Structure formats: C-alpha cells, structure tokens
C-alpha cells in the first residue's frame, strides 16, 4: 500500500554499545516514502535506542544513518528536526508550565519550516484541531490526562511539518476507545503524505496499521516483511512466546 | 628557597587541610545522600565556633565541648531538615538552593543578634612540640587528631552499622531503599544532622586555631564548595583529600606567589574543575 | 511588531517612568537617591530573571557583571576622561563579551554545578581585582572631583546619572518583555521545561543559552557603571558583593520568576521591607532573619511568587499580567 517508491530513510549496519552492553547489533533497514513502517520486539530489544540513534540523540558506535540521501549519522537532534524528522517519546515529555498552544507552537517554530511566531501560532491551532484538543488550547500541559498528553505530543511533532514521523509507543497506556481514536489520527497523518516509523507493542494495532514490519530482539533484526509474513515467522513467535511448538500447542488447546 | 620554611609550611598546610577536609565532608555527605547543596553550611560552621566559645566562657574545656557539639549539631540538622528541606526534597535544584539559603540568612541574622559581628577568639594555651627546628603548635596537632578521629568514627558508622548502611542505601537509590523497608525520611533527616554536626565540629576546631566573627562562615563556605568539587560531589574521602590538597596548596603557594593571589588561583582551579572534570579528582558518588 | 502593540508593556513602562519622574517633580534629593537604588535593583532582578526565569539557569554570581561593567567604565572615565554614557555602554559591551566567552563552556553545566560555577567566577574576579594594581588593587579607584566638572559639578552629575538609570531600567524591562513574547523566548522556556525534549523539537540549546546569558550581562554592567560613576569610588568588595545577586534572586522569586512584572514587584517589596526593618529600632538587627523567613515561606509554599500566584488563581489575567 505504499504510495511512493523512493527510500526515505536507511540505517546501514548500525550498532550501539553502552560500555559492555550491545544494544543494537548491525541493524539494517530502509523505509519507503509514504509507508507506515512498524518496529516490534520484546521489551529491551533496543527499539527506543534505535530511534535515539536515528534522531541524533546519540551517534551509533558503528554504521550509518541516511535520510533522503544525506548521511546524517552524526547530526544533533535539532539538525534532524530542520531536515524534516519529528519524534514522540515513549514516556511523554510535555512542557509542563506552558499551555497546549505554546507547546505546539514550539514545534511549529523550530521544526522544518522554522516559522515566525505568528504563522507558527496559526499552524499550531490547525494541528491542535487535527488531533482534537481544541477545547484545551489554553490549558497548562501539566493539567492534561495521559491520553491528552499523548495527543499533545503528537500535535507538537506534527506542527513541525515533518517528512518522517517517529512514533514511540503512542498507544501505551490508552484504553480501547482511546486506542481506536489514536489509530484514526495516525491514518489521517499518513494520508497527508507523511511517512511514519512506529514502535508499538499492541500487536493487533501495529499489524493492522503497518505496510511493513521489522522485528528486533536483543538488538538484532530477526525478521522483516509484511505483517502477515512476520506474524507467521517462527523466530518472531519464539521471541515472544518461547518455543514455537509449545505456542502451537497452546493455540490448539492440547498443551 | 628555604627547605625548612617549605617543610614547615607543608606540615602546617597538611594539618589545616585535615580540618578543612572535615569541614567539607558534611557538605558532600548531604549532597551525596539527597542531592541538595546545603547553602546553610557556613552558618553551621559558625555555630560550632560560637558554641565552643560559649562553653569555654562557661568553664568547659573546649575539647570536651566538642562532644556536646556533636549532639547540638545532630539536633540542629534534623530540625532544619524537617523545617526547610523535607517539603521540597524532590523539587528542582533552585528550590532547595533557595530554601537552604533562607536558613543561612535566618541563622546568620540570629547569630548576629546574639553575638554581634565583633571578632572573637579563644584563649587557648597548649604546649608546642619541637622536632629539630620545626615547631608544631599544640592546638594544630590536637585539631588534626580530632579530625582524624571523627573521620574514622564516621566511616565506622557508615560501613559497620546498620543505620550507616541504610544511609548508603538511600544515597545510592532512594526508591529501592524504601522498597526494602528503610524509612527514608528519618534517614535523610539523620544524614542532614550528621552533615551539620561535621560542620559544627570543624567550626569548633577552627575556633581553637583562629579568631573568628559571625561572618567568617561566608569565606569558609565558599572554600568548602571548592574542596567538595575538587574531591568529587558526594564523596567524603574525596572531601578529606580535597581539604588536604587545598591546605597544602594554600601553604605552599604563599612561598612562591603573594598571599593575595592565592584566592584567584583557587577559584580559577575551581571553575576549571567544574568545566573539565565535574566529578572531581576522586570521582563523585 | 505584534509584541509592541500589546498595551500591557506600555502600562508598565509608563508606571515605572512616571514613578521615576516623582523625584524630579518634587525636587527631592532623598527621594531621588531612593529611586536610584530601587531602579538599580529592578535592573539587577530583571536581568537575573532573563537568564533564570526564562531558561531556568540560576546565576548566583550574576553580580560579577555589575562589578566588571563598573570597573571597566570607571577606568575609562578616570584615565581617559570618556563621557560617562559612552563609558557605561563600553562597560556593558565589555561585560557582555566576557559573558559570551565564559558562557560557552559554563552553560554546558547543569543545575547546581552551574550555580556553583557562577559563584566561583564572581569570587575569582573579585580576588583578581583585589590584586590588579592597574585597577587600584584592594584600595580601588576614586575620582578626582574635577571629573565631575565636565558635567557641571557633582550635583548635576548625580542628576544625569539618575536619568541614565531611568532609561536603563525602562530598556531592561522592555527587553525582558520582548524576549518573553518572542519566538526566542519561547525557545528559552522550552529549554527550561525540558532541555532534551527541546533539542528534539529543533532548538539548539547552547546557542540560545549563550545569547541569553550575554544579554543578561549587559544591563547589570551598565547599572554598575552608573552606580560607581555617581559614587566616585570603586572597590573590589562592594563591586563583587555576592550577597547582592543572591538578594536579587530572592526578589525574583518573591515577585515571580519568568514574568516581566515579577522582578519589579519583588524588588520594590523587598527593598521597602528592608528599608523599613533597618530603620525601625526594634527590628533592625532582625532584618536578615525576617528576610530569611520570608524567603523560606515563599520557597516552600508559594513558589511562583506574587505575580505567579495571581496568574494561577485568576486564569483570565494570565494573558494580560505578564
């Protein structure tokens, strides 16, 4: 279902070491323009670390990251933002003492378009409308509940008018209704032409939403392909459930 | 260059350094346990000085008075903790800095009212010792011995007693310590009390060495910051060594450069360490 | 610029400007002296707010710029007979330059480390000037009264210094306001709230922090130049008096950090209270204790200060009471 053929982001043999711990092991992937690319894997697999490397929070120990043909391996996060990369955090990080509007305006001011304050505020209002937070525009970020904070996080990233959006577990902590709402928002974002790279734990969501899925375990790639291919991959099942034969027996009810 | 002068200065500086190290230990302990920079440190030192003064005026031997100071320091620290620090212990740094600074203002104000700002001194006559041509003042020697004794006592407490271990646990990871059943509030209060009493003891010792005023605390507090950063924030051993280094530095450099330039040198070193090795020479804890 | 169309800033400027004209209208020298000091404190508090209130970096040793500007300007006036306005501006620029150069390494430090470093810097400069004979060493420098002749005598020099201080205060307040309402100010506040998140959002923290620090050094420096010009005498101890910048911090906390009016309100209230306490026979020795208790109560219970508290309680005013 991808609308474009060009590759927008690649990581080439990216490894990341923290002292003695190998968090990422030769990770190679490529994301096509316009698609929704899911990243899954058990806890501690290195998914957020991968985002941090792509985003520029820290450089990889080995390997390269290329965005739209440019080698961006050693750039800082604010440089990446200028180039059209936006990102949300797994544990949301709202700017507490600022209002929703001010939060989103920051995104618009310092994102890809680097808008002046007035234009940025207009963009902010549009984006706040898009995620459905208009009623709370003047509220302090610290007063929002978790679902609203997640939407704020999303709005702030969108206000930067990114080309590629990195979503880190946007669905975590949401009840089923909130999940459904968020999924609709994610689809709307993709329909606007923004490429999405998402880390997610909620299986049915990521499988339903993604065009392609990439599976990490202990920092290394163990599978890649369409959701269908990946969910039947024995290694994936093993990583999540242990021995695939046992998993099979559970499914058949003969265990 | 006079070798004898050099040796004499070095010994003097070394001894003073021990007392300075003790002075800084309290500050670094409080930081290590609760990540709070106690800007009330200076006044606590001064309180120790005046406590000794009062006691000597009452006829109590200053060195015995130190035992009373231990109790005084502990109580004062615990009270200050609950009044000023506990409520904001988890707040951003600025809040605790200003809270402890307000304690500083209150204490200095109170001490000024009681004692006024005129200089004071203890009249302490102790025999001096001679080794060859080098004279060691008795007061200095006793001060060093007391400082060493207190340090040993502190380490025994921290490493051999259950409470001490609890303190180290809370310093390491407060949340985990609480999960293991340690009452972190009392431990924090106790730590603050210990930090305070260390400052007070050092004040008492300094009173036996130099004359002082209510305002002496300011310079000593800044010196404590320098020592603490030098030794590594939160590292008591580092503070002791940092104190010794500063003591030696101050004594020896006066031979080579004019006395008044020493502070410039000290503060430049201080800023440089903060910039390039913020964990101090011995590593922060 | 949309910023300037907000009526709020004009109200503040008119109020401050109007109050400053009182001594001139009533021809009261003692009132003028009071206002001179008050304006100086407003400038000091506002400039600390620019670095602290907006970025969250606590500059304990901020008074160092007061001393640096003072010394630089004094030297120019004494040795080269430079006009006091020009000397003051040069002092301001000089101090800003030093802030810029120092800021680059020092602003990489966080929280308490930064606060300690600023103390160390102030003390280092103080010790340096105490030894530096070119600038008078521990004795400092003083004016031959002939210097004031160029301004029509000591009395009128005092008047000119006052006018200059008024202009400086208005400029400081205006700058504080412009920063707050600008995109630059928004970036600063993002840094204050969450520096790492702000980096991901596209803000370059180092660049913004250093620029802010540089700006925040200019105003106290010029104030120092004016103060010591009027004084006719400059010495290391009062030029780099650490207590002053800590008091300015108290004023900012009292009035409300991160706001434009907060430092003004804080400075006025604090100074009035201090003046009252010191002249009151029974309470004068207790002024430090009372100030300390006040600060403690604010820090423990009303962190946002007077203005901040009002803004929280009356949300409608939030847009208007900056």
* CATH number for the domain harbouring residue A110: 3.40.50.300
Domain residue extents for chain B: 3-215
The reply to whether A30 falls in a domain is no
Q: How many domains does chain C have?
A: 1
Q: Which domain holds residue A180?
A: 50-224
Structure token pair of residue A94:
């709202």
Structure ipTM: 0.85
Q: Chain B: list its partners (3+ Cβ pairs within 8 Å).
A: C
CA-nearest residue of chain A to C308?
A: A97
Interface test with C, best of A117, A124, A165, A166 (most C CBs within 10 A): A117
Q: Measured between CB atoms, which of B91, B110, B222 is closest to C119?
A: B222
Q: How crowded is residue B179: how many other Cβ atoms within 10 Å of its Cβ?
A: 9
- Tell me which of B116-125, C204-213, C252-261 is least confident: B116-125
Interface test with B, best of C112, C270, C278 (most B CBs within 10 A): C112
Q: Which domain holds residue C228?
A: 2-241
Chain C residues 268-307 within an 8 A CB cutoff of chain B: 285-296, 299-300, 303
pTM score above 0.90? no
Structure token pair of residue C261:
């009016």
CA distance C108 to chain A (A): 15
Q: pLDDT tens-digit profile of A102-160?
A: 999 999 999 888 889 999 999 999 999 998 899 998 888 989 998 899 999 999 999 99
The pLDDT, as a whole number, for residue B252 is 80
Rounded mean pLDDT of B239-252?
88
Kindly state the helix (H) or strand (E) to which residue C85 belongs, with its residue range.
Answer: helix C84-106
The reply to whether A187 falls in a domain is yes
Phi, psi of B134 (to 5 degrees): -100, 130
Exposure b/e, C74-105, CB count within 10 A at least 16 = b: bbbbbeeebebbebbbbbbbbbbebbeebbee
Q: Rounded mean pLDDT of chain B?
A: 84
Structure token pair of residue A201:
């734990």
The reply to whether A20 falls in a domain is no
The residues, any chain, with a CB within 8 Å of residue C167's CB and separated by 6 or more, are: none
End-to-end CA distance of chain B: 40
With a pLDDT cut of 70, the percent of chain C lying above it is: 94
The reply to whether C254 falls in a domain is no
The reply to whether C269 falls in a domain is no
The reply to whether C235 falls in a domain is yes
Counting beta carbons within 10 angstroms of the beta carbon of residue C156, is it exposed (0 to 12), middle (13 to 18) or buried (19 or more)?
exposed
Does residue B240 carry a pLDDT above 70?
yes
Q: CA B119, CA B115: separation in Å to the nearest integer?
A: 10
Q: How many domains does chain A have?
A: 1
CB contact under 8 A, C58 and B97: yes
The reply to whether C30 falls in a domain is yes
Helix, coil or strand: residue A166:
strand
Kindly list the residues from chain C whose CB atom is less than 8 angstroms away from the CB atom of residue B40.
none
Structure token pair of residue B52:
């000794």
User: Is the CB of A52 inside 8 Å of chain C's CB atoms?
Assistant: no
Q: Are B68 and B48 in contact (CB under 8 A)?
A: no
Rg of chain C taking only CA atoms, in angstroms: 19
pLDDT band at residue B135, thresholds of 50, 70 and 90?
A: low
The reply to whether C318 falls in a domain is no
The reply to whether A183 falls in a domain is yes
The reply to whether A114 falls in a domain is yes
Q: Are B277 and B233 in contact (CB under 8 A)?
A: no
CA C27 to chain centre: 27
The pLDDT, as a whole number, for residue B123 is 61
Does residue B188 carry a pLDDT above 70?
yes
């Amino acid at each position: 279902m991808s609308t474009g053929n060009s590759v927008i982001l690649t990581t080439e043999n990216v490894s990341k070491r923290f002292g003695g711990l190998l968090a990422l092991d030769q990770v190679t992937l490529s994301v096509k323009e316009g698609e929704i690319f899911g990243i899954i894997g058990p806890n501690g697999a290195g998914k957020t670390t991968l985002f941090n490397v792509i985003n520029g929070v820290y450089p990889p120990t080995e390997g390269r990251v290329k965005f739209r043909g440019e080698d961006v391996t050693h750039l800082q996060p604010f440089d990446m933002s200028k180039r059209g990369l936006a990102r949300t955090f797994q544990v949301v990080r709202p700017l507490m003492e600022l209002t929703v509007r001010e939060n989103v305006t920051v995104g618009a001011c310092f994102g890809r378009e680097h808008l002046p304050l007035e234009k940025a505020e207009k963009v902010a209002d549009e984006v706040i409308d898009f995620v459905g937070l208009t009623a709370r525009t003047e509220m302090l970020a610290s007063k929002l509940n978790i679902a609203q904070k997640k939407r704020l996080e999303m709005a702030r990233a969108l206000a930067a008018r990114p080309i590629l959006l990195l979503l880190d577990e946007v669905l975590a902590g949401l009840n089923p209704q909130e999940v459904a709402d968020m999924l609709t928002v994610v689809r709307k974002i993709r329909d606007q032409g923004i490429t999405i790279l998402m880390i997610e734990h909620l299986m049915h969501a990521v499988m339903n939403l993604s065009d392609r899925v990439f599976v990490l375990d202990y920092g290394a790639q163990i599978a890649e392909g369409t959701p269908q291919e990946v969910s039947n991959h024995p290694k994936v099942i093993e990583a999540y459930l242990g021995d695939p034969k046992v998993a099979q027996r559970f499914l058949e009810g003969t265990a | 260059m006079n070798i004898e002068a050099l040796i004499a200065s070095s010994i003097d500086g070394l001894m003073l350094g021990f007392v300075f190290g003790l002075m800084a230990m309290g500050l670094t302990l409080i930081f290590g346990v609760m990540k709070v920079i106690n800007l009330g440190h200076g006044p606590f030192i001064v309180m120790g000085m005046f406590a000794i003064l009062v006691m000597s005026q009452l006829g109590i031997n200053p060195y015995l008075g130190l035992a009373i100071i231990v109790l005084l320091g502990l109580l004062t620290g615990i009270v200050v903790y609950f009044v000023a620090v506990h409520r904001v212990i988890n707040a951003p740094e600025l809040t605790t800095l200003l809270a402890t600074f307000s304690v500083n203002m209150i204490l200095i104000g109170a001490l000024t009212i009681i004692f006024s700002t005129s200089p004071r001194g203890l009249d302490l006559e102790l025999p001096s010792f001679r080794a060859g041509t080098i004279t060691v003042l008795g007061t200095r020697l006793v001060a060093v011995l007391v400082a060493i004794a207190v340090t040993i006592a502190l380490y025994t407490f921290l490493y051999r007693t259950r409470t001490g271990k609890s303190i180290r646990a809370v310093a390491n990871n407060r949340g985990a310590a609480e999960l293991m059943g340690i009452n972190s509030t009392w431990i924090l209060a106790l730590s603050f009390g210990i930090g305070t009493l260390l400052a007070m003891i050092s004040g008492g010792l300094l009173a036996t060495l130099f004359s002082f005023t209510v305002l002496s605390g300011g310079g000593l507090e800044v010196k404590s910051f320098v020592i603490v950063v030098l030794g590594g924030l939160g590292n008591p051993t580092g503070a002791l060594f940092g104190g010794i280094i500063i003591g030696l530095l101050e004594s020896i450099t006066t031979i080579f450069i004019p006395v008044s330039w020493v502070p410039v040198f000290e503060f430049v070193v201080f800023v440089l360490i903060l910039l390039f090795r913020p964990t101090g020479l011995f590593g922060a804890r | 610029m949309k910023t300037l169309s907000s009526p709020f800033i004009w109200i503040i400027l008119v109020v401050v400007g109007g109050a400053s004209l009182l001594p001139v209208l009533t021809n009261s020298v003692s009132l003028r002296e009071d206002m001179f000091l008050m304006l100086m404190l407003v400038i000091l508090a506002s400039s600390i707010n620019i670095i602290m209130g907006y970025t969250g970096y606590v500059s304990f040793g901020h008074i160092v710029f007061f001393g640096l500007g003072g010394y630089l300007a004094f030297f120019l006036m004494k040795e080269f007979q430079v006009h006091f306005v020009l000397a003051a501006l040069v002092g301001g620029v000089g101090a800003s330059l030093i802030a810029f150069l120092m800021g680059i390494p020092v602003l990489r430090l966080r929280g308490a480390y930064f606060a300690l470093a600023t103390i160390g810097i102030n003390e280092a400069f103080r010790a340096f000037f105490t030894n530096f004979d070119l600038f008078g060493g521990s004795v400092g420098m003083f004016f031959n009264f002939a210097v004031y002749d160029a301004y029509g005598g000591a009395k009128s020099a005092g008047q000119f210094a006052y006018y200059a201080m008024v202009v400086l205060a208005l400029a400081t307040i205006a700058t504080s306001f412009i920063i707050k309402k600008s995109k630059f100010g928004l970036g600063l506040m993002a840094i204050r709230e969450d520096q790492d998140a702000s980096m991901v959002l596209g803000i370059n923290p180092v660049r913004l922090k250093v620029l802010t620090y540089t700006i925040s050094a200019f105003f106290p420096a010029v104030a120092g130049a004016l103060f010591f010009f009027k004084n006719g005498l400059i010495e290391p101890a009062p030029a780099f008096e650490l207590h002053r910048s800590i008091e300015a911090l108290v004023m900012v906390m009292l009035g409300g950090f991160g706001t434009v009016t907060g430092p003004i309100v804080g400075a006025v209230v604090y100074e009035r209270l201090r003046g009252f306490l010191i002249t009151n026979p029974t309470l004068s020795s207790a002024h430090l204790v009372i100030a300390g208790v006040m600060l403690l109560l604010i820090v423990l219970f009303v962190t946002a200060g007077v203005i901040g508290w009002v803004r929280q309680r009356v949300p409608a005013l939030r847009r208007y009471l900056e």
